[in-house]
Each structure stands twice: as C-alpha cells, then as structure tokens.
Structure 1
Amino acid sequence: MSRHDPHGDWRSGAGLARRAFLKSCGAAPLAGAGLGLLGCGLGFGPLVARSLLADEKEVLPKHVTPEALRAVTKGLDYLAAQQADDGSWNTGGGQAYPVAMTGLAGTALLAHGNSPTRGKYSRNLQGAVEFLVRCTTPTGLITGPSQDSGQPMHGHGFALMFLASVYGMITKESLRRQVAETIRKAVTLTSQGQSGAGGWTYIPGGGDEGSVTVTQVQALRAAQNAGFLVPKAVIDESMNYLEKCRTPEGGIQYSLSAGGGPRLAISAAAVATLYNAGQFESPIATDCLKYVWGQFRANEGWNKGGGHAFYSHLYAAQGFYMAGDEYWDQYFPATRDQLIAMQGGDGSWNGDGIGQVYGTSIAVVILQLPYKYLPVFQR
C-alpha cells in the first residue's frame, strides 16, 4: 500500500487535495472555518453516525471479530455511565485530569460512529463538547480550575483534538460558533506556547518534552483537518524538535535537555505524529518505526518495556495501522485478543495506573481503528 497523506500538505494551510475532494463530493465549506463532509464517505463515518453494533451480521473490517465488537460496546457503555452531570470525565484513579479524560473519552465515542445529535452516545458527546467549551480560558488554554493537576497542556491537546474532530458534526449554530472560537484560540495558544527548541511541555512555553509535543502536533493536525489555519512554521519546528531528540537506536528521547536513551512510549507517539505530518518516507519516521516495531516484536506480553503500556499501544497502534498491512496484520490480532482478555467485568480497562476512564478510552480507540471513523487516525 502506498503510504501518503490523503489530505495533501496540511502544514501549508492550502488544503488543495482536500478542496478537490470536497468538490468531487459536491460538498462546500460550512460557515466558519470547518469543512462540510456529510455524505462523502471515504471513512468519514461519524458524520453519518452509523453505529458499529447496529447489526452484528454486517461485514466486519479485517481482523475485527464479534467478540471485539462486544468488548467495545461494554467499554463504551462503561464510559457513558461514568460521565459526570457537567459532561466531564475524571480518571477514576486518584488524580483528577478532567479535561484530558473528557477529550480522550469523547474521542473514543466519536470512533464508534456517533455525533452530538445522532447515535447511542449522542447526549454524552453533546455534554463533552459543552464542558470543554466552558473550560476555555481567555488565553485559549482549555483547562479546568485545577489545570489538570497543574499540568494543563496534555489535557489541552486531547481536548483540542476532540473538538476539532467533532466540529463538523455540530448542528446547533450557537454551539458551533463557540466551538469554532475555542478551536481558533486553542490553536493560537498551542502555537505561541511552543518552546524555542520546537517542543512543548506541561505548561505553555515552559520547555519541551516528547509526550506533550506529540499531543500538540496531533491536535493541530485534527484542527487542520477541520479547516482551521495551522501555521506551517509551528509544525516545521516541531518536526525539527523530534529530529533533534532522535537517538542512535532510532527512537526518541524524553526531552532535548534530558538526553539519555530512547523512550518506547514517546517513540511510538512520534511515529504516529510523523505520519500525521505526512512524513511517511522520511529517515526519522523510518528509523523510529523500525525501533518501535523491534521493541514490540521482542516482547510478547502487553507491556513492551519502559512502562506506560496503554499509552505506548495507543500511538503504536496508530503508527502500525498507517504504516500498512505488513505491520497491522501482525500487530492487531494479538493486541485485540490481549485487550479482550484484560477487560473487566464492568467493561472497563485500568490503564497504566491512571484509571479506568483512561484505560477504557484507549482500549476502545485501538479496537475501533479499522473502522476509519476519525480522519486523524486514518492512513
């Protein structure tokens, strides 16, 4: 399979390929910065809001089994039951990261083919959107009173990615305008919060660290997919940052200043991010994929080394899926079966000691990747 960016050079903001796609579908840009994609197909499933489990007799994507579908349903039902009255989710594991967890859980529901107005979990999505809009600050940072335990940028990134992914499905005009303004301000905050080295850390402008950096880049990609302007220079500098963090092994170290060897979790996240930036054939993407693949092949269990197993799988799954069938056919069946075996009786997964909302959101995102419902996760 040819590995390319189906949306063209998203960093330029020109979006020529996307406009050609829209023209071929007979769709026109909606009011504001978003793009109207209803009815165009090609994997934009949430926009038609078809439920994955409407009929188990449907033709399933490759490697998706009825058992996997049932696991997804139980997981999503668990998430829906855990949502607070204000539309948020917390970790369920001690520390509170409501913005990050709401962005992750909302993304998991979107990956099922729901929208804020249609589908089994439409009310949950509507509540999540409204909560995150209320969390927008005058600076553009999406955060709550506790600032996600004083580390708001992870939550900001997950929230921005979710809001950008759901934006084109919002039909209530007043809310649509609010979300558009939230996304614009959030993109500006992320752009201005980039460090001089080209990365991001837990607070805006506070330095740089690999995991926060990849979260911001993926959020910016989702915003660009939704038709919002993302400065090319910001993405170029972030790619340069990852290049500077590359180790001789081919992976990515924790941060530019920290040095040291490669971190598997951050290296896996870097693969997905590099592909999001269209760098499928770049030397850094090739080397990083080789390193991550080698680590995953060397360890048969769920934990592939270095801790943060759910986080590692979240991004490695995206990277392997976008890399092509050579990787996906070997990775997904075993991972699918591991996740099914690890699921709790209440439908949840406890992820990395952070909590059940976190683990469950990641597990169902991975299990739903073959449905291609979210453009940011597509090949």
Structure 2
Amino acid sequence: MRPSLRGSSPTGTRRAFLARCAAGAPAVAAVGGGWLTGVVSGLSAEEVLPKHVTPETIRVVQKGLDYLASQQSDDGSWITGGGQVYPVAMTGLAGTALLAHGDTPTRGKYSKTVQGAVEFLVRCATETGLITGPGQDGGIPMHGHGFALMFLASVYGMITKEALRKQVQTTVRKAVTLTSQGQSGAGGWTYTPGTGDEGSVTVTQVQALRAAQNAGFLVPQAVIEEAVKYLDKCRTPEGGIQYSLSSPSGPRLPISAAAVATLYNAGQFDGPIATDCLKYVWDQFKANDGWSKGGGHDYYAHLYASQGFYMAGDAYWDEYFPKTREQLIAQQQPDGSWNGDGIGQVFGTSVAAIILQLPFKFLPVFQR
C-alpha cells in the first residue's frame, strides 16, 4: 500500500495568498514566471510556500540559479565547470533546473537563459535523432541525449514562437524514435545507441520518454514495458539494482535510487520491483544520516532518491526533505554553486536546485 500522497499544492497556496491580498494583506515579491523569491513582513512563509520549503530555501535556490545563468556560454550551452565537457547533458540538466523554478522561454527572470538552452539543444539534433554535440558528449552521448530529451519535452508546451516550437517538436519526435530503436535486446540502454545496456543510461531514457509522453508525443508502450523488465532482471536479492545485467556485482545505491524514480515514471507504483527497490533505498538512507551514502555518486543518488521519496508520499518526504534541505544549504558555496560528485559546479548546482524545487510541482515528470 502506498503512503498518502496528500501534500501542499502550489495552486492551493496561491489561492490562499490571493485571497489574503484581496483582503488587504501584504504582497510577496515574485520573479517573472518563477515562484517566490521572498516573503515580506506580515505574511508567514507557511501560507505561501509548500510544506518544508523555507524562505532560506528560496534564497539559496535563487543564488544557485543566478550562478547557473552566469555560467551559460554564448551559444546557450553549459559545460561541467570541473574540467570535463558534457555540453548536451549539462545543458539539459541546467535547463531543467530553471524550468523547475517556473521560468519559460518567454516568462521569468531566466527566460532568455531557457531560450538559449532550447536553441542550443535543437542545433545539436542530428539526422538520426540523437541529440549530441560535435564531441559526442565525451563519447557517451546517450546520457546527454536523455537529459536533453527530458528538457525539450518538458519545455515544448511553453514555447510560443511557432518556428522554434516546430523545431522542438521535430527534435523530440526523432529523439523518441532514436531512443526506442536504440533499446537493447535485454530492454536497456548504454552509452551509445544499440550497443548494450546498463542501469544509469536506462533510467535517463525512461524518464525522458515519460516527459515526452506527458507532452503529448507518441511513445511505444512496449519500449517502457521492456525497460521495466530489464530493471527486474537487474534486481538483486537485497531488493536493489545492479549496474548491468552482465555485471552481477551486487546492488548499487545510486542506480537503485534512479530505478525507483524510473519505475514510478513508468507507472509501477505498487509492483514488487518498485516496492522492493524503494525499501532497499529507504533502508540505506535511514542507515546513514549523512549526505554521503558512499560510492562517490551522492548528488546523483540524491537527485533520483528525492524524486522517488517525493512521489512515494509524505511518509517518506517528511523525513527525507528537511534534513536534505539543511545539508544542501550548508554545502552551497559563496558564489551560489554546489560542486557535485567531483563532476563540477554546473552539475552539482543543477541537481541541488532540482531537489530543492520539487515541492513546487512545475514539471509533470517530477510530480506525484
């Protein structure tokens, strides 16, 4: 049985806020299409912010997004900032963090930044449907392809410029076809299309396909079903997910956390795979209260675990988020960035901003 999915609703809090404004209550500072940047005297945070989101949370997110905007290249892309260059993957993630703030290509403080990200990724679309840059994102383009597809599918309905909307539509359709055709016989994906399978790439493809489906694009149901079967094949006796079908080396916590979010994206809320995997991840997180869970992929693990716990309901979210919120606030650098998993500031800042903004429910792919 799933825990209760009741929680704070941005729509509900906005209505309460507007009612108070109509009665003469003080206003709240807003940023364009984004949500709230602060609460002025006379209006409590609890009345306008989702559960567990504090005014300090808003401030650190704003500082983080300002950092991301400052790091965008002239061509609309981002690189990691840590010496490695994965422009398609980083642009997809950074763009998603900005969408999670409520900004669009035409509205909000970061509208031009979002627009630049869309235009860059559209230029990276190839004839095959693969979204990748000249350097093939370090030779492992499917990670970037998945993050880019998720971002473009999520932003598609927000684009008002007809020419760009058509470009994004074509890019997403071809990208969905590329992902579908690049699935391995076992049901997963790996770093290049059609060459094998492993867990971390598989989860990015399923989440990207879910975002495309949410946006109204046709996604073959058989592809999703085979991906779920693949994760089931990779399940270990502990309930977690191993790295790949051909590498039976025990469960990996980051991939297991990603699998929970992916299974929920696939609609597998109450199935034995999702239930066992959630229990494994939850037990591992409860056994270690610190930010680091071991293995050197903590930001990656939290990115997906946060989604899984949020979608699993308040019983998980109420225990997970306040502690994680404080850990992220403590880790933020003076310039507003987070350095994630040694990959760089763009990755870490994007992940931190996505986690802290989940309760605002701006992106369907992250919603309960």
Do the structures match in fold with TM over 0.5?
A: yes
Give the deviation of 1:2 after TM superposition. Answer: 6.0
Which residue of the partner structure matches residue 52 of structure 1? Answer: 35
Contact 1:3 1:322 in 2 (8 A): no
RMSD: 1.8
- In 2, the alpha carbon distance for the partners of 1:110 and 1:253 equals 31
SS of aligned partner of 1:306 = coil
Relative to structure 1, the CA distance from residue 4 to residue 131 in structure 2 (aligned partners, 3 Å threshold; closer, same or farther) is farther
- In 2, the alpha carbon distance for the partners of 1:339 and 1:322 equals 20
Give the deviation of 1:54 after TM superposition. Answer: 4.6
Letter in structure 2 aligned against 1:361:
S
Give the deviation of 1:56 after TM superposition. Answer: 2.2
- In 2, the alpha carbon distance for the partners of 1:3 and 1:279 equals 15
Contact 1:49 1:115 in 2 (8 A): no
Match of 1:85 among 70, 74, 77: 74
Give the paired residue count: 341
Cα shift readout 1:312-339 (whole Å, capped 9, x = no counterpart): 0000000000000000000000000000
- In 2, the alpha carbon distance for the partners of 1:85 and 1:56 equals 34
Match of 1:74 among 63, 69, 78: 63
SS of aligned partner of 1:160 = helix
Give the deviation of 1:255 after TM superposition. Answer: 0.1
1:234 is aligned to 2:223: yes
Which residue of the partner structure matches residue 272 of structure 1? Answer: 261
Structure 1 residues not aligned, in runs of 5+: 6-40
- In 2, the alpha carbon distance for the partners of 1:368 and 1:185 equals 30
Cα shift readout 1:235-265 (whole Å, capped 9, x = no counterpart): 0100000000000000000000011100000
Which stretch of the first structure deviates more once superposed, 300-309 or 147-156?
300-309
- In 2, the alpha carbon distance for the partners of 1:360 and 1:53 equals 19
Give the deviation of 1:306 after TM superposition. Answer: 2.1
Which residue of the partner structure matches residue 98 of structure 2? Answer: 109
Contact 1:4 1:280 in 2 (8 A): no
SS of aligned partner of 1:155 = helix
Give the deviation of 1:300 after TM superposition. Answer: 1.3
Give the deviation of 1:304 after TM superposition. Answer: 1.1
Contact 1:53 1:73 in 2 (8 A): no
Which residue of the partner structure matches residue 329 of structure 1? Answer: 318
Contact 1:163 1:179 in 2 (8 A): yes
Give the deviation of 1:53 after TM superposition. Answer: 2.6
Give the deviation of 1:52 after TM superposition. Answer: 2.0
Identity, % of aligned positions: 78
1:130 is aligned to 2:113: no
Which residue of the partner structure matches residue 20 of structure 2? Answer: none
Letter in structure 1 aligned against 2:210:
R
Letter in structure 2 aligned against 1:116:
P
Segments ≥4 residues shifted beyond 3 Å: 1-5
- In 1, the alpha carbon distance for the partners of 2:213 and 2:132 equals 21
Give the deviation of 1:49 after TM superposition. Answer: 6.5
Letter in structure 1 aligned against 2:55:
P
Match of 1:163 among 152, 169, 172: 152
Contact 1:99 1:156 in 2 (8 A): yes
TM-score by length of 1: 0.87
Letter in structure 1 aligned against 2:143:
H
- In 1, the alpha carbon distance for the partners of 2:339 and 2:152 equals 25
Which residue of the partner structure matches residue 309 of structure 2? Answer: 320
Contact 2:37 2:62 in 1 (8 A): no
Cα shift readout 1:139-179 (whole Å, capped 9, x = no counterpart): 00000000000000000000000000000000000000000
- In 1, the alpha carbon distance for the partners of 2:93 and 2:269 equals 25
Cα shift readout 1:49-81 (whole Å, capped 9, x = no counterpart): 632235424611100011111000000000000
Contact 2:33 2:104 in 1 (8 A): no
Contact 2:256 2:281 in 1 (8 A): yes
Match of 1:215 among 204, 220, 240: 204
Relative to structure 1, the CA distance from residue 150 to residue 113 in structure 2 (aligned partners, 3 Å threshold; closer, same or farther) is same
Structure 2 residues not aligned, in runs of 5+: 6-10, 14-30
Relative to structure 1, the CA distance from residue 263 to residue 224 in structure 2 (aligned partners, 3 Å threshold; closer, same or farther) is same
1:147 is aligned to 2:136: yes
Give the deviation of 1:98 after TM superposition. Answer: 0.1
Which stretch of the first structure deviates more once superposed, 352-361 or 298-307?
298-307
- In 2, the alpha carbon distance for the partners of 1:126 and 1:4 equals 37
Which residue of the partner structure matches residue 62 of structure 1? Answer: 51
- In 2, the alpha carbon distance for the partners of 1:304 and 1:95 equals 24
Cα shift readout 1:188-242 (whole Å, capped 9, x = no counterpart): 0000000000000000001000000000000000000000000011001000000
TM-score by length of 2: 0.90
